């Protein structure tokens, strides 16, 4: 959706993978603009907003997440947006087109907020990001946050750290004014991008188990605490293969796989969802950033003995022209030598390294194996000693 708003993707239709008509052709009855009010598990019916009751033998909850909106005055004003659904994106894009926006403020420097920087700068809108934290993208190491901050500066995006939103009012020379813990800033458009929370109210009201993470509890078959009720996607928990905990990681690619597993089981087959290693990535202007597994803090909470290193190498052969600096951070367990997590940032090659290291995490590989892994080497694509090898060897010294 950020690429749609930034006009890289022109037509919202290309964001829809499968239309209601397509579903209807296969005999799936699609009811749009009709919410579910309640689930009656004893009667096995759901009650809709229009008052009707729909009976079920098997029920699936795919209720997703909703954008977290801070409880401060003015968040409902025109020109204040969240970016969660396609209608949100369409509303924001038409507002930006029609209202002559010259300045935007993004509240929250997570990956949605950062992806939106590029979209807004593409539209030539002055952009500022404010965040409660001291740095952007706290999922990543401070060293990578620094690189991201530099990239924002290079593209004329201002970052205001340690800044909390206290209220939104009508502005004097821009449409809106944000009052913050560190002064005022005016803007024509405000995006609230401070995170999402799972929609679990229906499930909780129906007495289904909610997990510690706050999302709906499921098993490896995607069943909830009621064997006739499944849950999939952003509303439910997912098993993290590294921390070995059930957690909440709302990502569309995970939702697709969980949906497939539930569909197989409901359709009479047998499938399990084996969990995730927590791989994620985003693009910030020319920079690619990616992470997988867990960081030191989560490793400690999970009972591991984390050690880590950050190295800066080259994504491609040193002798070739162009920006190629690539940073890799590895986290490993001192007790076993097992890889626990990885992060990367660079103009080239960050995401492919993290995908490789996600496979290593999935397989439970140890640093000594990673340090000699066989990669496809050719100067335009990599270096003879890949930054992954260098980082793994470096971290082995600490074990």
Kindly tell me which residue out of 29, 98, 124, 374 binds another protein, with binding defined by CB under 8 A. 29
Kindly tell me which residue out of 5, 61, 147, 276 binds another protein, with binding defined by CB under 8 A. 61
Kindly tell me which residue out of 55, 76, 321, 322 binds another protein, with binding defined by CB under 8 A. 55
In the bound state with another protein, the residue whose beta carbon lies nearer, of 23 and 377, is: 23
58 touches another protein (CB under 8 A): yes
Secondary structure (DSSP) of 298-359: HHHHTT--EEEEEEEEESS-TTSSS--EEEEEEEEETTT-BEEEEEEEESSSHHHHHHHHHH
Site residues for another protein, window 83-112 (CB under 8 A)? 84-87
The one segment of 227-235, 313-321, 342-350, 377-385 that binds another protein by CB under 8 A: 227-235
Token pair recorded at residue 83: 């970016």
For residues 110 and 91, give the distance between their C-alpha atoms in angstroms, rounded to a whole number. 21
Kindly tell me which residue out of 6, 79, 136, 233 binds another protein, with binding defined by CB under 8 A. 233
Q: Least distance from C-beta 213 to another protein, angstroms?
A: 16
Q: Least distance from C-beta 200 to another protein, angstroms?
A: 12
In the bound state with another protein, the residue whose beta carbon lies nearer, of 200 and 316, is: 200
Site string for another protein, 160-199 (x = CB under 8 A): ----------------------------------------
Site string for another protein, 260-299 (x = CB under 8 A): x-xxx-xxxx------------------------------
213 touches another protein (CB under 8 A): no
Element (H, E) at 261: helix 252-266
Kindly tell me which residue out of 28, 156, 297, 335 binds another protein, with binding defined by CB under 8 A. 28
384 touches another protein (CB under 8 A): no
31 touches another protein (CB under 8 A): yes
Kindly tell me which residue out of 120, 130, 202, 350 binds another protein, with binding defined by CB under 8 A. 202
Site residues for another protein, window 2-21 (CB under 8 A)? 15-20
Token pair recorded at residue 257: 């796989």
**In terms of Cα–Cα distance, which of 230, 280, 228 is closest to 254?**
280
Kindly tell me which residue out of 10, 32, 76, 376 binds another protein, with binding defined by CB under 8 A. 32
Using DSSP's 3-state secondary structure scheme, residue 239 falls into strand
Element (H, E) at 288: strand 287-293
319 touches another protein (CB under 8 A): no
Size of interface with another protein, in residues (CB under 8 A): 58
33 touches another protein (CB under 8 A): yes
204 touches another protein (CB under 8 A): no
Q: 339: Cβ–Cβ under 8 A, 6 or more apart, which residues?
A: 293, 330, 331, 332, 357, 360, 361, 365, 366, 367, 370
Q: Least distance from C-beta 199 to another protein, angstroms?
A: 8
The residue whose two tokens read 């969660």 is: 84
For residues 385 and 14, give the distance between their C-alpha atoms in angstroms, rounded to a whole number. 40
For residues 369 and 360, give the distance between their C-alpha atoms in angstroms, rounded to a whole number. 9
Q: 332: Cβ–Cβ under 8 A, 6 or more apart, which residues?
A: 306, 307, 308, 338, 339, 340, 366, 367, 395, 399
For residues 210 and 216, give the distance between their C-alpha atoms in angstroms, rounded to a whole number. 4
Token pair recorded at residue 247: 């957690």
Question: What is the 8-class DSSP label of residue 145?
Answer: H
In the bound state with another protein, the residue whose beta carbon lies nearer, of 8 and 297, is: 8
In the bound state with another protein, the residue whose beta carbon lies nearer, of 176 and 232, is: 232
Q: Are the C-beta atoms of residues 179 and 167 closer than 8 Å to each other?
A: yes
**In terms of Cα–Cα distance, which of 262, 263, 208 is closest to 40?**
208
337 touches another protein (CB under 8 A): no
Binding residues (CB under 8 A) for another protein: these are 1, 15-20, 23, 26-36, 39, 46, 48-49, 54-64, 84-87, 202, 230, 232-235, 252, 255-260, 262-264, 266-269
């Amino acid at each position: 959706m950020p690429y749609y708003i930034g006009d890289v993707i022109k037509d919202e239709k290309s964001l829809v993978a499968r239309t209601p008509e397509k579903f209807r052709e296969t005999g799936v009855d699609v009811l749009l603009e009709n919410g579910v009010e309640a689930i009656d598990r004893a009667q096995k019916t759901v009650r809709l907003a229009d008052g009707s009751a729909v009976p079920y033998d098997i029920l699936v909850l795919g209720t997703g997440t909703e954008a977290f909106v801070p409880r401060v005055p003015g968040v409902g004003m025109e020109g204040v947006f969240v970016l969660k659904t396609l209608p949100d994106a369409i509303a924001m894009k038409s507002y930006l087109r029609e209202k002559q926006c010259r300045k935007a403020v993004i509240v929250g420097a997570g990956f949605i907020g950062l992806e939106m920087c590029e979209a807004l700068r593409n539209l030539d809108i002055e952009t500022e990001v404010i965040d409660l934290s001291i740095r952007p993208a706290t999922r990543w190491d401070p060293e990578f946050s620094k690189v991201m901050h530099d990239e924002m500066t290079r593209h004329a995006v201002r970052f205001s750290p340690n800044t909390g939103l206290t209220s939104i009012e009508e502005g004097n020379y821009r449409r809106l004014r944000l009052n913050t813990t560190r002064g005022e800033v005016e803007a024509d458009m405000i995006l609230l991008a401070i995170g999402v929370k799972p929609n679990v109210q229906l499930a909780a009201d129906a007495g289904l188990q909610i997990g510690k993470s706050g999302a709906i509890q499921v098993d490896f078959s995607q069943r909830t605490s009621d064997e006739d009720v499944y849950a999939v996607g952003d509303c439910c928990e997912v098993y993290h293969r590294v921390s070995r905990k059930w957690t909440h990681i709302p990502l569309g690619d995970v939702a697709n796989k969980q949906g497939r597993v539930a569909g197989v089981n409901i359709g009479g087959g047998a499938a399990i969802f084996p969990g995730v290693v927590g791989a994620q990535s985003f693009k910030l202007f020319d920079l690619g950033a990616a992470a997988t597994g867990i960081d030191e803090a989560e490793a400690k909470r999970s009972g591991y003995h984390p050690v880590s290193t950050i190295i800066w190498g080259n994504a491609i052969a040193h002798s070739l022209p162009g920006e190629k600096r690539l940073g890799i951070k590895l986290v490993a367990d001192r007790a076993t030598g097992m890889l626990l997590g990885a992060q990367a940032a660079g103009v080239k090659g960050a995401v492919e390294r993290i995908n490789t290291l996600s496979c290593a995490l999935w397989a439970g590989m140890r640093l000594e194996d990673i340090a000699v892994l066989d990669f496809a080497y050719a100067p335009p694509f990599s270096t003879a000693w890949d930054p992954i090898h260098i980082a793994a060897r470096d971290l082995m010294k600490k074990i």
